Amino acid sequence: MIQNLWGQVETDKALHFLGGNLFGLAGAGIAKNATNGNRWWTFAGAVGGSALIGLGKEAIDAGQSNNSWDNEDVLATILGGVTVGITIDIFTDHKNNKKTPQGSLSSYGKKFLKNGQYTRLDNLINRQVPPSLLMLSLPSDLLE
C-alpha cells in the first residue's frame, strides 16, 4: 500500500515538472519576442511562466475541500521552468543575436521609422521566418 502511495506522489511531482516545462517554454517565448532575444529576460520569462502556473495551481488546490497547498508541487513546477530557461540559454547562439546598427536600415525599414528607432513591425517583417498569425492579421498596406 505504501509503495503505491509513493508512486503516486512521484508521478504528481513529475507532472508538475512537465507543466513547469510547458509553461516555462511559453513564458520564455513571450519574453524572448518582447525583448528581441535578451537572454536574461528570456530566462526570467521561463521561470516566471512556470512560477505563475505553479502558484495558480496550488491556490486552486488550497481552495478545494479535499486538497491542500503543497510547496513541493510549486517547487517541482518552478524547477521545470528553470530547466527550460537553462536549456534555451545553452542552445541559443548568442553571437548572432547582436542588434543591427542604427545607420544600416534597409529601404524597407525606412518606411517604419518612428523617432529614429525601429518599430516592432519592422523587426517582425525583416525576419526571415514563416508568417505568424500576427503577420497574417496585419493590413496589406503595411506589409507592402
- State whether 85 and 113 are in the same domain: no
- State whether 8 and 52 are in the same domain: yes
pLDDT in tens, the chain (144 residues): 455 555 555 788 999 999 999 999 999 999 999 998 899 999 999 999 999 999 999 999 899 888 889 999 999 999 999 999 999 999 987 776 555 544 444 444 444 454 455 555 555 556 545 555 655 665 656 555
80 within a domain of the structure (yes/no): yes
Give me the count of residues in the chain.
Answer: 144
101 within a domain of the structure (yes/no): no
Give 53's contacts (C-beta < 8 A, 6+ positions apart). Answer: 19, 20, 23, 77
- Confidence (pTM): 0.60
- State whether 83 and 61 are in the same domain: yes
Q: Which residue has the cell 518599430?
A: 119
102 within a domain of the structure (yes/no): no
Total domain count, the chain? 2
> How is 46-99 classified by DSSP, letter by letter?
HHHHHHHHHHHHHHHHHHSTT----HHHHHHHHHHHHHHHHHHHHHS-GGGGPP
- Determine the Cα angle at 34 with ends 31 and 40, to 5°: 45
Inter-residue contact 54 to 78 (CB < 8 Å):
yes
- State whether 28 and 80 are in the same domain: yes
Work out the widest C-alpha separation in the chain, in whole angstroms: 71
- State whether 57 and 83 are in the same domain: yes
**Hey, is 127 helix, strand or coil?**
coil
The distance of Cα 72 from the centroid of its chain, to the nearest Å, equals: 23
- State whether 126 and 58 are in the same domain: no
> The domain containing residue 112 runs over which residues?
107-143
- State whether 31 and 68 are in the same domain: yes
- State whether 90 and 117 are in the same domain: no
